[in-house]
């Protein structure tokens, strides 16, 4: 343990309040977005488009849920090997992770509304409204059973939220002990925490992987009950991680002028940028694997899912994802400077986030609404505003209460030292 290094660094000389982030203007903007989103969704209900509203809630919440869960997964990965490079930016991704319980509450509300058919939510999952859709598929007719489905989703959310909350409570406790000057308690707890995380991070990643895969199967893939993809969990993970890297870079640039951001080195920008580039290729690879398999297999029950999305307006989303989510970042991120130059990196990161938001939209909405309802996507954009407003609010509340630099982490100084 490198506590001796920790005691002699400049962190002790800084005003500890500088480790917290205050952004009242951004918080006000988030509140406005949230209200605008609620108004748009309310208009959807008023125009008797309840299923469309719930579809928007599903894909927007899933988008940000994956962003938060991805942050916790990457943090857990670095704990397995005690990676030092990630330490200064770790708290950004833990702040993303704080949204997982919030998103879980939204999904729980959704499940209740689906079960009680509130606001036409019961028609979103077609197999609930019409069980005959899966009657001839012995596996799915046993799996896609309403009460069984509700129970599974609730269990997934409890497991994922429980693990995330426990992980956050432990890492926050370590930092608060350091911030309060309780050196002996901090050293003892820090040693125990490091041993426990090294031991439990591997099994935790396995749980994350299995539970998230089944969660993606049930919440998104079951919207098309006759379709099946055994790659769905891995493909959803690829989308998750490309999105996470893009959002992390945007947050890093946003914090760069703060005391916290002064500890982000160019190499951290470069590493996250390389990961974003790598997951761009991984996302494209798994997407192509879907298409190629169904093409040479010539399976009508599988190709129907894609054929539906090759018609207007969905086909324009496919073109957008192809160029914005793959071709543009694939070539634009090749130069090293593309990973750390704000005028270069930020537009690419923003393009990737837009592309993957469109990806989530064309996964869900074709199963929920008719194509002519997408002429004015006010409900879909409104759902984004609502969930994005909640996401930013959660991030800022977390940043006001928790040091945005993991000052209690004994590996932090290794990351801040020269070298990599």
Peptide bond into 386 cis (omega under 30): no
Gap between the Cα atoms of 346 and 35, Å rounded = 27
- In 3D space, the residue among 404, 403, 386 whose CA is nearest the CA of residue 36 turns out to be 386
Q: Which two tokens stand for residue 200?
A: 């439990």
Please report, for residues 26, 34, 126, the alpha-carbon distance to residue 389 in angstroms, rounded to integers and kept in the order given. 10, 5, 30
Residue-level pLDDT at 11: 63
Residue-level pLDDT at 15: 66
Name the packing angle between helices 99-116 and 146-179 (round to 10°): 160
Residue-level pLDDT at 1: 35
Gap between the Cα atoms of 169 and 173, Å rounded = 6
- Is residue 16 within 8 A of residue 179, CB to CB? The reply is yes
Q: Is 190 helix (H, G, I), strand (E, B) or coil?
A: helix
Residue-level pLDDT at 83: 86
Please report, for residues 15, 213, 304, the alpha-carbon distance to residue 209 in angstroms, rounded to integers and kept in the order given. 40, 6, 28
pLDDT (tens, 9 = 90+) of the chain, 420 residues, equals 333 334 444 566 566 788 899 999 999 999 999 999 999 999 999 999 999 999 999 999 999 999 999 999 999 999 998 888 889 999 999 999 999 999 999 999 999 999 999 999 999 999 998 888 888 888 888 999 999 999 999 999 999 999 999 999 999 999 888 888 888 888 888 888 888 888 888 999 999 999 999 999 999 999 999 888 888 999 999 999 999 999 999 999 999 999 899 889 898 999 999 999 999 999 999 998 888 877 777 777 677 888 888 888 999 999 999 999 999 999 999 999 999 999 999 999 999 999 999 999 999 999 999 888 888 999 999 999 999 999 999 999 999 999 999 988 888 888 777 555
181: left (phi over 0), alpha (psi -120 to 50) or beta: left
Residue-level pLDDT at 386: 98
């Amino acid at each position: 343990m490198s506590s001796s290094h920790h005691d002699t660094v400049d962190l002790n000389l800084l005003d500890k309040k500088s480790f917290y982030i205050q952004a009242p203007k951004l918080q006000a903007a988030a509140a406005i977005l949230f209200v605008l989103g609620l108004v748009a969704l309310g208009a959807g209900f008023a125009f008797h488009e309840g299923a469309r509203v719930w579809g928007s809630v599903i894909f927007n919440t899933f988008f940000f849920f994956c962003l938060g869960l991805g942050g916790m997964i990457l943090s857990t990965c670095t704990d397995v090997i005690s990676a030092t490079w990630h330490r200064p930016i770790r708290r950004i991704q833990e702040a993303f992770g704080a949204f997982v319980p919030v998103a879980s509450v939204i999904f729980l509300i959704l499940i209740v509304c689906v079960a009680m058919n509130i606001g036409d939510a019961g028609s979103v999952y077609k197999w609930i409204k019409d069980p005959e859709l899966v009657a001839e598929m012995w596996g799915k007719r046993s799996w896609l059973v309403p009460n069984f489905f509700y129970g599974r989703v609730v269990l997934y959310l409890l497991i994922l939220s429980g693990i995330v909350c426990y992980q956050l409570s432990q890492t926050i406790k370590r930092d608060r002990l350091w911030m309060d000057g309780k050196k002996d308690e901090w050293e003892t707890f820090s040693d125990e925490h490091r041993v426990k995380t090294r031991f439990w991070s591997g099994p935790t990643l396995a749980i994350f992987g299995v539970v998230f895969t089944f969660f993606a199967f049930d919440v998104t893939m079951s919207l098309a009950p006759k379709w099946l993809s055994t790659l769905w969990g891995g493909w959803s993970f690829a989308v998750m991680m490309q999105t996470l890297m893009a959002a992390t870079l945007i947050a890093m640039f946003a914090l760069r002028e703060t005391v916290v951001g002064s500890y982000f080195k160019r190499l951290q920008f470069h590493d996250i940028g390389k990961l974003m580039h790598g997951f761009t290729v991984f996302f494209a690879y798994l997407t192509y694997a879907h298409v190629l398999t169904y093409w040479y297999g010539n399976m009508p029950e599988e190709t129907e899912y894609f054929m539906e999305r090759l018609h207007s307006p969905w086909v324009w989303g496919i073109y957008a994802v192809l160029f914005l989510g793959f071709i543009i970042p694939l070539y634009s991120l090749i130069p090293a400077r593309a990973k750390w130059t704000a005028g270069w990196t930020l537009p690419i990161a923003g393009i990737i986030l837009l592309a993957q938001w469109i990806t989530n939209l064309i996964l869900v909405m074709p199963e929920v609404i008719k194509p002519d309802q997408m002429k004015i996507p006010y409900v879909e954009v409104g759902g984004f505003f609502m969930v994005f407003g909640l996401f930013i609010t959660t991030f800022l509340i977390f940043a006001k209460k928790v040091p945005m630099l993991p000052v209690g982490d004994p590996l932090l100084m290794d990351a801040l030292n020269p070298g990599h």
